[in-house]
Amino acid sequence: MEDIKHEFKVKGEELVEKIKQLLHEGNIRKIIIKDEDGKVYLEIPVTFGVVGVFLAPTIAALGALAAMVANLKVEVIKMEEPEKPKKP
């Protein structure tokens, strides 16, 4: 099984809401926050048991980061979904 990577740009003020939206979608292994030049600011490993406890302080840190940086890149690494069996 292979991981799927998606990268997109967000404005600083949109960062927290976008991360919350991604986490709600589920099936995510890691979120990497970078600046426009590719410098990594924050890597968030996402596991099922840690989501609630770990992410509250991380969301606060994202808010502080968003206030300092105007444009960011968010790289999302998702688990590949298994193929569904075809119906006859």
The fold of the 3-79 domain, in CATH, is: Dna Ligase; domain 1 (3.30.1490)
| pLDDT for the residue numbered 7 | 92
CB of 74 closer than 8 Å to CB of 18:
yes
Q: Determine the pLDDT at residue 86.
A: 64
How far apart CA 82 and CA 76 sit, in angstroms, is 18
Residue type, 20: K
Q: So what's the pLDDT on residue 40?
A: 92
Q: What is the pLDDT along the chain (88 residues), one digit of tens a residue?
A: 678 899 989 988 888 888 888 877 778 888 899 988 889 988 888 765 555 556 667 777 777 777 777 788 999 988 776 566 666 6
The number of beta carbons lying within 10 Å of the beta carbon of residue 8 is 11
Whole-prediction pTM: 0.72
Instruction: Return the C-alpha torsion angle 15, 42, 25, 18, nearest 10.
Output: 0
User: What whole-number distance in Å separates Cα of residue 88 and Cα of residue 86?
Assistant: 6
